[in-house]
Structure 1
């Protein structure tokens, strides 16, 4: 296999991982969690989002989190609309993330707009941020399957990616939002994107482990030339607008696999597990990642015959 020697992990646990938690995590503990994650060697991370506190109360402390956690590393803040961008501009963070679903139905249920309507609204916002030196990340939801429309055609994903490239996006995060993709489909889509998009645009894979396929899909992504992956410490998360979607693939499981394959990440697995152990008491979904359970001696031993 033609594999990279290094892979970059974009930690999404503090935003995507916690947004679905009904129990509010105290701001001070979110901040401590983020600092522990950074201490493990993570250099790119989603910190929080400027979404409506009415719809996602977990993110109501976004300004405080940004103030305490923005540093020289690449810290992303999700900004779904003009108001979110205005709030971002009032902070020291210079990295913005937008999201749009390839599926019109998913997009309408998520943000009450079609894919085209979303692009029309955020297009000028992206162009304005780029003119002022911001790094822009576009998260492409439902890139493989939609919970309402079924399988998504690869060419439709490419077309949406090309629109974002034309607007000036620096990075495209290609998401298996409901965790239905298989390695063949992953290799096919990323090969198509690599062949048709400018090499200057960063391509990132974002997998959910709904059906236990995330690590296999990451391996297929590596073979297609992808070396950037969104992951969530403890496997936390899951889109609140995608029925049946479970958590993101666990950062610690991905790091273990990559290191075992000889692919460096710059991340200390023991320190990463310390961060997961810290956040465990504050989440209701439970930590089910293999590496965390092994580290906590919670794995089931197989009796000898």
Structure 2
């Protein structure tokens, strides 16, 4: 029995295009079992792709491969660009080694300790909890508790000076000497100018002696030198760290000390009572660069401090 086929216009029924694919006069391409070369449901074209289909398949494969190659190239360019930027913007993004923070109260020691238990003070200026500055504020609040005026009301406390420091009294400390390094100014952490709290606690009955004014240490301290104070000085550890400290700012010097002269020597005298309030100094760092590991070394300078490591501490900053 004859079967119905396409109504064609004769010689236009089998047009071969440039890509080798055959079409009829309506532009329909012959593929698979419907090819005009005899392929029917069970004919020789069954299960095979036409030349047209094969070309289209290869074209899709080639286009896909080109797209994948372009994507990989873009990824490589981005990675290389970021790596190059890390090495050329002056910032170090590889975390260096920081030793464990020590809670020893002898000699010179500082607060706060790093979040990870090391000496690295790392924080985000725009965040309180988590990776923010909240933990450091709480740490400083806790260790300044005894220095608040309301906690120095007992009659055993006395306002001391270099000529009046009774052996049976505890010398008071005025927190206003810490300037803006206080709770109400978030200890400078929200403005990226963090304050670090230092205590100087030499052995009992050991009276530290300051360097002479004309000594190298006296010249280094400059206007902050005092004959009745132990000067504290902080410096970047390496040339790379110096790049991340900066110069003068609206706050003044890159590093500021409150009180500027350091630790009063008259606190360290022979005492007939066991209670003692260690004098403190706040150091504010005004120009620490963001996204950079910065190493700082701080030293309390006295002529009779024999163990330099005992009175010198190194710590780091990483501000986000």
Q: Which has the higher contact order (CA 8 A, sep 6+)?
A: 1
TM-score range, shorter chain: under 0.3
Q: Which has the higher helix share?
A: 1
TM norm structure 2: 0.24
